[in-house]
Structures are given as structure tokens and as C-alpha cells.
Amino acid sequence: MASPRLETFCCPNRDAATGFVVSFQPLLFGALSLASAAFSFCFAILQILPKRKGYRRLGQYPLPRPASSSRILFIINPVCDILGCAGIVVRSSVWLGLPNIVDSISVANNTDVWPEVFCVGSAMWIQLFFSASFWWTFCYAVDVFLVVKTSAGISTIVLYHMITWGLAVLLCIEGVAMLYYPSISDCEQGLQHAIPHYVTTYAPMLLVLIANPIFFSRTVSAVTSLLKGRQGIYTENERRLANEIKIRFFKIMLVFFICWIPNIINEGLLFYLEMQADIDDGGFRDIRNAALITWFIMGILNPMQAFLNTLAFHGWTGFDVDLSLRRRRELAWDSASTSAPNAGSHNPVVGTTLLYQSHVQAAQKSMMGNGQHHSDAISVLSEGNNWPRSGEESSSCTKDIHCFVSLVV
């Protein structure tokens, strides 16, 4: 799991609330975290592997460079979520296999520094990648809004990298430095040293919870307006397209709420216990039980973000993995566009992607010679693009920009 309490646990003189939750059934908690993280890690990898079904021939249609939103989805899931999940697997495995490491951390003035180094290193690894995932999720919301409202180019991905990795590294180092001052084995006691660490951990999480629904809502409103203004009417097709975009954004936020709301609830309960003179008082029994319940829920749901995000971004892609080198050379990097047929070769395949208007405009110039970039940017926001069957030569796609975009993204 990704909680600042685990960094606090690395201090021998940790606060009473942190010691209460971390020391309660540590083997059971470690086993649950390991099982959840291993499941999420394996299935997230399975989701992003190329599949035989849904394979689409590229034929004569050239592929543009992946758009920023496609790259963001690739960074959020295979990079940030899976690496963060791998950190939980390693930490839980070591704590279960070598329980003496956990016991040695609790000993003040211990001469063996390696248990503390592993504790801090694994905690920072997990916090860094999940924090970066939060920042990238925020950038994704900003990016999809820019796709509809402005003419942002592919160069914005460089700015996103600077913002996300820069802030993630800076806040992680700053929070840990304040927490472990003057040293790991002799941490300062008091909330004034712990609060900056908690703020740097929860700030990007709260930013996503508050700002992303606003950006997604404004994007959906802009999409609806553009769809209505494209032909002056709002047909069933436009309504279906807008609903698909809403559902896509809803799934992204639903996964985030499910995985991280327990952290905020648990932190509020533990912070309340910290303010009390005696957390073992009988009057706080219900609060202690609620804190333990949410603590175990966090251990299960936090690492599940890696797998659940693949479902939100791509849907279920199946088990039919194709690792042949020939097809991998033919398939372009398309992290935000995953095909999954329902049944039979005649069923439509669901694909998800997001292209920048500049790419759509370039496609239109080469295929049609006109510019309706807003409507075509909208058409690739949804999850309902119909792919031609494998081997099908679709000359009509050269006349329909929506079909052409479905082919090349």
C-alpha cells in the first residue's frame, strides 16, 4: 500500500497511532498486501500485452506519432502503477520472509542500518511512483480538455514530464527529509515534522479528486457543444458518442475514488487519535476499529489501481496473448487503443484513444483536404470505434475521416 504511515514506521520513535495500526496483525496485513499487489501486477501486465484477437491490419494507412494523451495513459499504467505495485510486492515479500527486519526497526540506536535503509527505500519507491501516477492522472484531465478547447501540440508532453516527475521527486524528497530529520535512527518527534510529509503525499491525490472531475465535466460540456454545432442537430449518434465519453471519464474517476478514498478516511481517523492523550481509552474503541478496517482496505485496494486502471483505460483485453515478433513489428505503439472483440469476426472491436487536433488535421489534409478538426478530435475520445475486420480493404475509410481515424489510432 502507499501510505505515509509506513515511512513514519521506519522511525524507531514513531507516534502511537502509527505503531497501533502497523503492529496490528502485521503478517496478515503483509499477506493481503502481497496477494493484492501480485494479482494486480500480473493482470496489469497481461492487459497491456499484445493480443491475437483484435489484431488490425495497418495496410496503406500511415500511423501518426502517438498523441500526448496516448503517452500519458502509457506512463500512468505500465510505468507508474506497475512499478509502484512491484515495490509493494518486494516490500511485503521481504517483511513476510524476514520478520526480524521489522522487529529491528523498532529498536532505538540499532547498529544495523540496513533494515532502516530498506524500510525507507521501499517506502520512497512506492510513494514516488504512485505520486507520479497522481500527477499524470491530473495531466491527463488537463490534456483531454486541451484537445477539445485548444490546439495543443505534441510538444506539451515534455512539459508534462517536467511537471509530473519534477514535482513527484521534489515533494517526495522534501517530505522525507523533514520526516527523518536529523537522522533515520533519531527522528524528531512532533507533528510539525510529520505534517509536511503527509501534505506532500496527499496533495496530488486531493488535486485529482477535486480538479479532475471539473476538467472532465468541462470537457464533456465542450464536446456536447461541438457535436451540436457540427451539423446544427444533435442526433442519436452524437448523443451516443457523448455518453461514451462520459462513461470513460466516469470509470477513470471511479477507479481512483475506490483505490484512494480509504487512505483519506484512515488518515483522518489516525490523525484524530494522535491528538488524544491516550489512544487506548475505551471511548475511542469504535474509532480504533474503523482505523484498522480502513487500514486493511488500503492494503488491498491501493495496489489494485494498476489492474483497475487497465480496465478503465482499455477494457478487458482477454488472455489470448500474441508475442510473435512479426506482429509486434507491424503493430505500432498504441497504449491507449486496445481491441477486444465480443464474439466472431463480424463484431465490432472496441478501441480507445485520444488524438491531438494537429494529428487529426494532418490526416484530414492528406485524406480529405478540409478542416473539421474539432469534430474529429471528439470522435476519437470515445470507446465505440468500429474496426474493420482483419484483411478487409475499406476504401470508404478514405472518404470518412471518422473511420480513417479509427484505422490509424
Residue pLDDT, tens place only, 15-47: 788 888 888 888 899 999 999 999 999 999 999
Q: What is the mean pLDDT of residues 136-143?
A: 92
Task: Answer whether 0.85 is exceeded by the pTM.
Answer: no
In a domain, 344, yes or no: no
pLDDT in tens, 230-282: 666 677 877 888 888 899 999 999 999 999 999 999 999 998 888 888 888 88
Type and span of the H or E element at 326:
helix 325-330
In a domain, 378, yes or no: no
| CA 152/CA 357 separation, integer angstroms | 8
Looking up residue 270, the CATH number of its domain turns out to be: 1.20.1070.10
Q: Are 207 and 134 in contact (CB under 8 A)?
A: yes
Separation of first and last alpha carbons in the chain: 35
In a domain, 403, yes or no: no
In a domain, 329, yes or no: no
In a domain, 327, yes or no: no
343 φ, ψ (degrees, to nearest 5): -165, 120
Parent domain of 185: 6-50+64-275+283-311
In a domain, 405, yes or no: no
In a domain, 325, yes or no: no
In a domain, 318, yes or no: no
Q: DSSP string spanning 214-252?
A: HHHHHHHHHHHHHHHHHHS---HHHHHHHHHHHHHHHHH
| CA 198/CA 65 separation, integer angstroms | 39
pLDDT in tens, 349-363: 333 333 333 333 444
pLDDT at site 254? 96
The number of distinct structural domains making up the chain is 1
Bridge partners, 186 (sequence order): 183
Q: Are 246 and 254 in contact (CB under 8 A)?
A: no
Q: Which spans in 75-155 are helix H?
A: 82-97, 99-105, 114-149
